[in-house]
């Protein structure tokens, strides 16, 4: 049996009627930019998260940059972020004109380590960008005196002590890239905030800095979500809670099946309910395991192969191998197994059998 890493075609087939109706509605109306679909999705997603405001935008990278700018980031302000995140996170900090300040991550959850953050922090550090990686929940409590911005691109619906991620920071960025837990059929993003002034700035920043037509109140650019994507997202949002639950069921099945293997599984922070955007395991034999799984027809991925301080584009930060050892080790050993809501029980069993087979164990 072959097991694909994602199944966006199955996702569409399961929601076809609602999505086709949403697309037809937008085409028939003939209004494509910042209309009632965007407004309706913003209201629905704010309700889902339990936040006061959601401002949709073009993608998750710009959502992070917009969140930082709307929260008051000035040129030269430092933003703490974890070294094991994906490139768009650091790209967004630079897009906002801010200065990235990397720190290491907790070896259990692979999210920002407050002790490392405290060591890296300088007098210029004003923001901490907590990345809720893999659908888990990063520490949102222990960094005093800094403005918290959340990166929720992998954590739509994950909660900490009953509250959704996206409700903890001054502002929180979401991506609706097609493979995210809530995905558009193209690019999309949003920023959530409880602060009405931040929301107002976001609405200006995402459209040329306009406070009204042709009047630039501040410097902005074009980062709009279009009506088609908003209508598709509204059609898909009602399925998100059940899909997150299905992801948790599959992850629990993997957790149980791999408990006795020499694999390091992801830890969950106390009080957190994750949404299992990805299912990473860690092993020194990552590349051999990956090749074995490919030979068994199981598609895998690496999130992420290179820590941010070792990316050529960010050599100017002056950080070297050895500076963030937990992030470096994670990048060298991590492998994501297939996990998505359309994955069948039989497919999950095939993944389990293939992984156990690699270690010479019966399924």
Ligand X SMILES: *Cc1c(COP(=O)(O)O)cnc(C)c1O
Q: How many CB atoms lie within 10 A of CB 289?
A: 21
**Residue closest to 63 by CA, chosen among 138, 172, 221:** 172
Q: Which is nearer to ligand X, 60 or 220 (CB)?
A: 60
Closest by CA to 120, choosing from 82, 173, 89, 71, is: 82
Nearer to ligand X, 61 or 333 (CB): 61
Look up residue 256 and give its two tokens.
């149980």
Q: At what angle do helices 60-70 and 196-205 cross, to 10 degrees?
A: 130
Shortest separation between residue 131's beta carbon and ligand X, angstroms: 5
What is the closest distance, in whole angstroms, from the C-beta atom of residue 11 to ligand X in the complex? 17
Select 334 or 355, whichever has its Cβ closest to ligand X. Answer: 334
**Residue 2 Cβ vs ligand X, minimum distance, rounded to whole Å:** 25
Burial call 115-143: b when 16+ CB within 10 Å, e when fewer: ebbeebbeeebbbbbbbbbbbbbbbbeeb
CB of 180 to ligand X, least distance (A): 6
Tokens 């992030």 -> residue? 327
User: 327: closest CA among 107, 89, 88, 120?
Assistant: 107
Query: Based on CB atoms, which residue is closest to ligand X, 183 or 258?
Result: 183
Buried b (16+ CB within 10 A) or exposed e, 242-270: ebbebbbebbebbeebbeeeebbbbebbe
CB of 277 to ligand X, least distance (A): 8
Write out the residues near ligand X by the rule CB under 6 A.
Answer: 59-61, 85-86, 88-89, 131, 151, 153-154, 175, 177, 187, 189
The residue among 330 and 355 lying less far from ligand X, judged by its C-beta, is 330
Which CB sits closer to ligand X, 127 or 177? 177
> CA 359, CA 357: separation in Å to the nearest integer?
5
Q: Which is nearer to ligand X, 135 or 341 (CB)?
A: 135
Tell the smallest beta-carbon distance from residue 22 to ligand X (Å).
Answer: 20
Q: How far is the CB of 330 from ligand X (least distance, A)?
A: 14
Closest distance to ligand X from the beta carbon of 319 (Å): 20
Residue 107 vs 186, nearer CB to ligand X? 186
Contact 307, 327 (CB under 8 A): yes
Closest residue to ligand X, based on beta-carbon distance: 60
Q: Note whether 96 and 69 are within 8 A (CB).
A: yes
């Amino acid at each position: 049996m072959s097991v694909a890493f994602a199944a966006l075609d199955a996702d569409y087939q399961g929601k076809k009627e609602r999505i086709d109706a949403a697309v037809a509605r937008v085409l028939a109306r003939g209004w494509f930019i910042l209309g009632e679909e965007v407004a309706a999705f913003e209201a629905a997603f704010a309700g889902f998260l339990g936040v006061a405001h959601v401002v949709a935008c073009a993608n998750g990278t710009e959502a992070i940059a917009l969140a930082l700018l709307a929260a008051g980031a000035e040129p030269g302000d430092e933003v703490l972020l974890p070294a094991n995140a994906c490139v768009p996170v650091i790209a967004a900090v630079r897009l906002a004109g801010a200065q990235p300040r990397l720190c290491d991550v907790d070896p259990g959850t692979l999210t920002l380590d407050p002790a490392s953050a405290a060591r890296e922090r300088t007098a210029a550090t004003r923001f901490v960008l907590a990345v809720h990686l893999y659908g888990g929940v990063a520490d949102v409590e222990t960094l005093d005196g800094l403005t918290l911005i959340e990166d929720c691109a992998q954590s739509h619906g994950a909660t900490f002590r009953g509250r959704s991620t996206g409700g903890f920071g001054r502002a929180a960025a979401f991506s609706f890239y097609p493979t995210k837990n809530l995905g558009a059929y193209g690019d999309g993003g949003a920023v959530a905030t409880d602060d009405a002034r931040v929301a107002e700035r976001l609405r200006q920043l995402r459209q040329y800095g306009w406070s009204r037509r042709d009047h630039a109140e501040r410097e902005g650019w074009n980062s709009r979500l279009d009506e088609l994507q908003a209508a598709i997202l509204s059609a898909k949002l009602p399925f998100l809670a059940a899909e997150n639950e299905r992801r948790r069921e599959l992850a629990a099945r993997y957790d149980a099946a791999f408990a006795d293997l020499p694999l390091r599984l992801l830890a969950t922070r106390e009080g957190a309910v994750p949404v299992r955007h990805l299912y990473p395991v860690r092993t020194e034999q990552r590349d051999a395991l990956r090749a074995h799984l490919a030979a068994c027809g199981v598609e895998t991925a690496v999130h992420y192969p290179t820590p941010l301080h070792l990316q050529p584009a960010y050599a100017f930060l002056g950080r070297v191998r050895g500076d963030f050892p937990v992030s470096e080790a994670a990048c060298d050993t991590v492998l994501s197994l297939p996990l998505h809501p359309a994955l069948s029980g039989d497919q999950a069993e095939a993944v389990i059998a293939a992984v156990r087979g690699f270690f010479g164990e019966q399924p």
